[in-house]
Structure 1
Amino acid sequence: MKKLVLAAVAAVALAGCGGDDTAGNLTVEGNVRGLKKGVLYLQQVADTSLVTLDSVVVKGNGEFRLTSPVDGADIFYLYLDKADNNQLNDRIVFFAEPGTIRIDTEWDAFESEAAISGSAANEKFAEYRKIQSRYHVQQLELARAMGELQQPQDSAALDSLDRVGQRLTLRSYLYALNFALNNTDSHLAPFVAITEVSDANPKYLDSIYQALSPAVAESKYGKQLKELLSEQRSQAENPD
């Protein structure tokens, strides 16, 4: 019994030392205003499959609470099945660590009206997505403009738009690299490096990894970045 008490005290002490990637429970609570009936799911991608960590049936009141053990900071999803045969605007993506995060939103604007609080990592995630979404919108507008051009008369204009597209892609890529380099104390740094710029020059990825805080370096994505760098070094040493 004494050993169990000591173990519990040690776990609490570790949780208070700022290592927010320590395995523990993630609790998601909040309110879906206007929701009278539906099912909310806390989800995560595991081994390329979307799995449900917890769920709750909502009846007459939009207040909810979901909880599940998690391995550390990662991408999670709050999915609403409101039985309206509409697959749009029903899933909120967020980045969170073990602890409590709050999500308040509207049943008929579930994703677009979501207000998320309680996670410093998610604030960084929202900042990153906001900038990248601007590049994405510009790329969509550019693709539409290119599609409206008539060949071969507009070949010069098409070439010009293609160069604009290449510059947009480069700006988006450089933003991702700079974001990771400037946020090495956040779990978002290795996440962005792995998911957005894994094909970057190894020296840039190594600069990101070397600057990570110890806690972030030992996180899921920190370890994946280390493995990626190891693979790149191995390929460079053995090109055949």
Structure 2
Amino acid sequence: MKKIIYILLSLVILACSKEQHDLTVKVHVNGLKKGVLYLKKAKNDNLITIDTVAVNGQSDITLHASSLESPEVFYLFLDKNSSEKDQIVFFADKGLTEITTSVKNFGFGAKINGSEQQKVFEEYKLMRTRFNEQNLDLIKEGFEALKKGDTSEYNTIQKKSDSNLKRRYLFTVNFALNHKDSEVAPYLALTEIYNAKVKFLDTINSVLTPKVKASKYGKELQGFIDKIKESEK
């Protein structure tokens, strides 16, 4: 009996001694032979490293993060022992996130399977890409107009560019309102339209569900709005 109790106590101690992780990120990078992967997140306007894995031949890598109180954005960086660095931005919740990508298209061709917030985030990014592509086309057209010295055409293009920006802002506001139960909503308000009129930020903040309001980005959005209002007094 004493031996059984000793074994059970040993198992309990062993289990308690193991580090507990809120988030596990499994990464598969096709073509990666050597380099370093960094898992990072934002803290006080800086990116801090949460976990690091040196790669030397293996293509399957596992990284971890602890103390994840609510869903938030993480950054996966690849340093290929050169001057070139790539990154993947993803929304993670507690549990498992799986990322499959390649060395060649590390930051652009990644497939991410994980949180519900990531699905919403990808939906937004798809539309944002369309706005960005339109803006790049307008910049190119504006440059050509300047080369020709056509001020009238350039001014017309600038108006189109301003209109495109307003449409992106309004789309972001509507997207956040339609996803008030997702932590992606306050995150977009803080990162995509932080310089918009405070009434837009206030509108998003007012409809967030209690759970989202209590999240990391929900609290940050409330604090951000409070600061703006205080500075306007």
Q: Give the shorter-chain TM-score range.
A: 0.7 to 0.9
1:129 to 125, 128, 134: 125
Question: Equivalent residue of 1:58, what SS?
Answer: strand
Which one-letter code corresponds to 2:157 in the other structure?
Answer: L
- Residues 150 and 208 (structure 1 numbering): CA distance in 2 closer, same or farther, change over 3 Å? closer
Aligned residue for 2:39?
A: 42
Match of 1:197 among 179, 193, 196: 193
Partner of 1:62: 59
Q: Is 1:51 aligned to 2:48, yes or no?
A: yes
How far 1:200 sits from its partner (Å)?
3.5
Q: How many residues align?
A: 212
Aligned to 1:149, the other structure's residue is in SS state helix
Deviation at 1:158, TM superposition (A): 1.2
Quote the Cα distance in structure 2 between the aligned partners of 1:150 and 1:228. Answer: 39
Q: Give 5+ residue unaligned stretches, structure 2.
A: 1-20
> What is the aligned partner in structure 2 of residue 161 from structure 1?
157
Letter in 2 for 1:182: N
Distance 1:182 1:144, change over 3 A: same
**Which of 79, 82, 85 matches 2:83?**
85
Query: What one-letter code is carried by the residue in structure 1 that aligns with 2:114?
Result: G
Give the drift of 1:218. 0.5
Counterpart position of 2:25: 28
TM-score normalised over the length of structure 2: 0.83
Deviation at 1:124, TM superposition (A): 1.1
Match of 1:47, as an amino acid? N
**Residues 26 and 159 (structure 1), Cα distance of their counterparts in 2 relative to 1, 3 Å cut:** same
2:6 match:
none
Mapping 1:7-22, distance limit 5 Å? none
After superposition, the C-alpha distances for 1:135-164 in whole angstroms (9 at most, x for unaligned) are 112112211211122478512111211111
- In the alignment, what sits opposite 2:183? 187
Identity %: 37
Partner SS, residue 38 of structure 1? strand
One-letter code aligned to 1:107: V
Instruction: Give, in whole Å, the separation in 2 of the partners of 1:224 and 1:146.
Output: 37
Superposition misfits of 4+ residues, deviation over 4 angstroms: none
Aligned match of 1:74: 72
Distance 1:114 1:153, change over 3 A: closer
Give ranges in structure 1 of 5+ residues lacking alignment: 1-23
TM value normalised by structure 1: 0.81
SS in 1 for 2:22: strand
Deviations 1:81-130 (A, max 9, x none): 2224333xx21111112221000111222122211001111111111112
Taking a change above 3 Å as real, the CA distance of residues 65 and 215 of structure 1, as seen in their structure-2 partners, is same
Q: Please give the root-mean-square deviation of Cα atoms over the aligned residues, in Å.
A: 2.0
Aligned to 1:226: 222
For residue 230 of structure 1, report the CA deviation from its aligned partner.
2.6
Which structure: larger Rg?
2
Distance 1:202 1:81, change over 3 A: closer
Is the alpha carbon distance of 1:149 and 1:100 closer, same or farther for their aligned partners in structure 2, counting shifts above 3 Å? same
| Cα deviation code 1:205-230 (max 9, x no counterpart) | 33322221111100111112212333
Distance 1:184 1:80 in 2: 33
Q: Deviations over 1:67-93 (max 9, x none)?
A: 021343222111112224333xx2111
Which of residues 145, 155, 158 in structure 1 aligns to 2:141? Answer: 145
Q: 1:113 aligns with which of 109, 130, 141?
A: 109
